[in-house]
Amino acid sequence: MRLFKSSPDSIHVNAIPLAADTVRTLHSAASYRTELLDKIARARHRIYLCSLYLQNDEAGAEIMQALYDAKKRHPALDIAVLVDWHRAQRGLIGAAKCGGNAAWYQEISKAHAYAVPLYGIPVQTRELFGVLHLKGFVIDDEVIYSGASLNNVYLHKHDKYRHDRYLLVHNKLLANSMVQFIREHILSAAAVHRLDMPEIPATRSIRREIKLFRDKLKRARYEHHGIEPDLPENGLTITPLVGVGKNNPLNKLICQLLAASTEQITICTPYFNFPLAVTREINRALKRGVHICIIVGDKTANDFFIPPDQPFKAIAALPYLYEVNLRRFAKKHQPQINTEQLQLRLWKDDDNTYHLKGMWIDRNYALMTGNNLNPRAFRLDLENALLIHDPQQLLQQQRQDELNSIMERTTVISHYRQIEKTSEYPDPVRKLLGRLSGTRLDRLAYRVL
């Protein structure tokens, strides 16, 4: 498969040489937490953490203490923590109104002489219309890439965990490229402010700066500075990509990957709500005879799911909305399910949750991303990804081990009737979905949630 064969300049492809022995894949949130803390403790030059949020809980405090300890051991250590501006200044959905994590940042930062800056990144003027969904930590020359944020459940601090993907790549060029992007295109922006300092500006006072920032982000790309590296003879490379808004380079790459497939596509997504462009390419691939496996979380493994015996909140309807989509898709493609050309797998592990994203195309392309492959990711949030090109399958065993570990907790849907229909949902859910559908607000929900 040759990617970008029609117009190689239409997408900024910045391939970086990669050695197979510098790539590791972890399979659990607990091992990810251990590895992250170990890397922070060993850091000597730089630590850049970019996450949707860093929560005021035990795991979040553990990460912050590790950063303060690292800075104390090595005062010249360059540290920056980036989180979403809006998410940091509100409480959890459904919780009482409060100052959010930002109030906690200010408290602990003051106690540690403001040694570790925490920046709030406003991708939009309102959280509903775009957040910082950029993934990837850089610690010295190591890139730790995961869709996970920083809190108890993502880091499996207590009994429950939220399963994600965890990739470690030791590559100086990649690490430099990601840090350069953060410094040049994000931290230099007038819209970006520290959240750990007193007197945070009100969002309304920086609306103009935020709009200019978003416009500039649409043109921002990961770059190399200096001599362009020679690509290895074995073809193993890694490419960082970034995008925000409609028709961005990352969106185009995702669609091109699907369009170029000839044998096999495997997709992970926690929210079954593909954009039209992705659905179109999936349908075309099925017509070409490509075998497709889609691994999605069971509705009870969705992070918005609330058990029926607990007080109902409107946000709890989201997992059911996604399941309605899944059932409709399965019904349409039942012939392909019957022939096993299409395989739908539901992930479930007790009351733990599922947050995996990414794609594997044929045997030589793998996309590691925080992109949910939904309309929101394609239109609103700032997203990025790492594309691995492995034409000689040097990482094939590692990829297969990861997929095997994911599939261990999945069941195969052999018929669409295995998926609950709306009439079987709890009364509050059924009534809310009915009202949404009657006013066509369900379409809006699919686009922004």
Catalytic center residues: 133, 164, 355, 383
91 SS3 class: coil
- Report the alpha-carbon angle 413-415-419, nearest 5: 70
CA separation for the pair 380, 371 (Å, rounded): 11
Beta strands 132-133 and 382-389 are parallel
Neighbours of 258 (CB within 10 A): 22
CA separation for the pair 386, 3 (Å, rounded): 15
- Cβ atoms of 206 and 224 within 8 Å: the answer is no
CA separation for the pair 176, 4 (Å, rounded): 25
Q: Which residues contact 443 (CB under 8 A, 6 or more apart)?
A: none
Give me the torsion for CA of 408, 409, 414, 417, rounded to 10°: 180
- 402 backbone φψ class: left, alpha, beta (φ>0; ψ -120 to 50): alpha
In whole angstroms, what separates CA 101 from the centre of its chain?
20
